[in-house]
């Protein structure tokens, strides 16, 4: 006899009543409040320019992903895209596919918004399955000293990114939290 079916995880836009759950899950997932502070600051300062998604399972927020504006400075040209991160899943729900689903849905939203690229500073074993590659292969480097294999890019609009190389800059909220 089969047990009761588990409700599927629903991925949706963050809502006002999710804010405290998002803060708590980022703090638990990362073991510190720094990422939660970044999310709060971007929410406050960036408004609708950021995309914040949650994974909800049985009426509980179990995962979160944030996309915020970034830019690549290429000589006199500046190309605007999105930065993925932070992305977090409650520890007891990690390795269940929730993080992957958050990335898939988020990247799909970025494709639909005519975003030319998404960058991420993350695990080099996780993000390539979604098409991310080391940004250095495209001549794009991070504003911070980070391992080459951990700073990745996903090109969504190849024509707009043709010939683009240079320095990628995140929003100032990321630097303010690490300062």
Tell me how far the alpha carbon of residue 11 is from its chain's centroid: 14
Asked if residue 9 has pLDDT above 90, the reply is yes
Residues 6+ apart with CB under 8 A from 3: none
pLDDT digits (tens, 9 = 90+) for 46-57: 988 999 999 999
Task: Identify the pLDDT of residue 18.
Answer: 98
H helix count then E strand count, the chain: 5, 9
pLDDT digits (tens, 9 = 90+) for 33-92: 999 999 999 999 998 899 999 999 999 999 999 999 999 999 899 999 999 999 999 999
Could you tell me the pTM of the whole model? Answer: 0.92
Fold of 10-178: Aminopeptidase (3.40.630)
What is d(CA 72, CA 155) in angstroms, rounded to the nearest whole number? 12
pLDDT digits (tens, 9 = 90+) for 88-146: 999 999 999 999 999 999 999 999 998 999 999 999 999 999 999 999 999 999 999 99
Summarize the chain as % helix, strand, coil (round to 5): 40, 30, 30
The SS3 of residue 156 is coil
Residues 6+ apart with CB under 8 A from 155: 116, 117, 138, 161
What is d(CA 47, CA 79) in angstroms, rounded to the nearest whole number? 20
**Would you list the domain boundaries of the chain?**
10-178
Task: Identify the pLDDT of residue 175.
Answer: 84
| DSSP code for 68 | E
């Amino acid at each position: 006899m089969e047990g009761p079916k588990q409700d599927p995880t629903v991925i949706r836009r963050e809502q006002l009543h999710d804010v405290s759950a998002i803060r708590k899950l980022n703090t638990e997932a990362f073991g510190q409040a720094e990422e939660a502070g970044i999310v709060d600051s971007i929410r406050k300062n960036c408004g609708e320019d950021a995309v914040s998604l949650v994974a909800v399972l049985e009426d509980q927020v179990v995962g979160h992903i944030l996309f915020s504006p970034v830019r690549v400075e290429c000589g006199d040209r500046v190309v605007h895209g999105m930065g993925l991160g932070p992305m977090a899943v409650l520890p007891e729900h990690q390795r269940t596919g929730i993080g992957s689903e958050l990335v898939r849905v988020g990247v799909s939203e970025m494709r639909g918004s005519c975003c030319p690229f998404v960058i991420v500073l993350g695990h080099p074993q996780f993000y390539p399955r979604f098409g991310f590659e080391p940004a250095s292969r495209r001549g794009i480097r991070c504003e911070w000293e980070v391992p080459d294999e951990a700073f990745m890019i996903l090109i969504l609009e190849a024509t707009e990114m043709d010939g683009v190389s240079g320095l990628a800059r995140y929003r100032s909220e990321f630097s303010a939290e690490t300062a």
